[in-house]
């Protein structure tokens, strides 16, 4: 029996919230470094964002215990993990499975196709989403690998393992 099974719904919600906040604290240092590195290495992203470089985006990887809040302001870029029960304001929201979002960032998947299949949801300011998509799509190389590289060999190993797991899952889904 799972240890949380004995909790009432209110208690379970409190535990989930605490877990989410802890996860946010753990990943935050990495996220801050990721957004600074991408901004430093790919300044053309900001030009394609236009006025939306001052906007906030809420990115929601549905299976993770937190959402991500991105402010791609070149003067003060911010990328934060935020608990779902207290997300800050954002002009635009992007929602999908974590690896799908990662593949979209890396242009391994097509955003329009993911939208057509309903694997990807967007809401809020559509122009902001379109600008972000086009800005990231013009980046050469893999943003995911750059991010994983910040953690060195362990980061790259984790990314490779995630990709293998996602690929296996996707292939299993297609065969089912």
Q: Is 95 helix (H, G, I), strand (E, B) or coil?
A: strand
Q: Does 117 bind other proteins (CB under 8 A)?
A: yes
Among 49, 58, 67, 100, binds other proteins (CB under 8 A): 49
Q: According to CB under 8 A, which one of 15, 62, 126, 161 is a site residue for other proteins?
A: 126
Residue 56 touches other proteins, criterion: CB under 8 A: no
Binding mask 135-174 for other proteins (x = CB under 8 A): x-xxxx----------------------------------
Would you call 70 exposed, middle or buried from its count of C-beta atoms within 10 A (0-12, 13-18, 19+)?
Answer: buried
Stretch that binds other proteins, among 10-18, 28-36, 78-86, 110-118 (CB under 8 A): 110-118
Select from 117, 161, 168, 101 the least CA-distant residue to 176.
168
Mode of pairing for the β-strands spanning 78-82 and 67-71: antiparallel
Instruction: Compute CA distances 32 → 27, 78, 89, 160, 164, whole Å.
Output: 9, 6, 19, 22, 26
81 touches 23 (CB < 8 A): yes
Residue 86 interacts with other proteins (CB under 8 A)? no
Closest distance to other proteins from the beta carbon of 115 (Å): 6
What is the rounded distance in angstroms from the CA atom of residue 148 to the CA atom of residue 133?
20
Contact 69, 90 (CB under 8 A): yes
Smallest distance from the beta carbon of 65 to other proteins, in angstroms?
Answer: 21
121 near other proteins, judged by CB under 8 A: yes
Residue 27 within binding range of other proteins, rule CB under 8 A: no
Among 11, 29, 43, 50, binds other proteins (CB under 8 A): 50
**Binding interface with other proteins (CB under 8 A):** 48-50, 104, 107-113, 115-118, 121-123, 125-127, 129-135, 137-140
């Amino acid at each position: 029996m799972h240890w949380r099974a004995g909790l009432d719904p209110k208690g379970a919600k409190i535990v989930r919230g605490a877990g989410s906040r802890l996860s946010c604290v753990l990943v935050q240092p990495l996220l801050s470094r990721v957004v600074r590195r991408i901004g430093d290495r790919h300044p053309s992203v900001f030009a394609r964002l236009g006025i939306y470089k001052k906007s906030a985006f809420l990115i929601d990887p549905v299976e993770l215990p937190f959402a991500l809040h991105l402010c791609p302001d070149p003067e003060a870029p911010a990328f934060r993990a935020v608990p779902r029960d207290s997300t800050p304001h954002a002009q635009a929201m992007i929602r999908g499975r974590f690896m799908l979002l990662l593949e979209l960032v890396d242009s391994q998947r097509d955003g329009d196709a993911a939208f057509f299949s309903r694997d990807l949801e967007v809401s809020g300011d559509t122009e902001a989403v379109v600008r972000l998509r086009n800005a990231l799509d013009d980046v050469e190389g893999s943003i995911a690998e750059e991010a994983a590289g910040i953690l060195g060999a362990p980061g790259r190993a984790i990314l490779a393992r995630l990709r293998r797991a996602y690929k296996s899952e996707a292939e299993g889904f297609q065969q089912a």
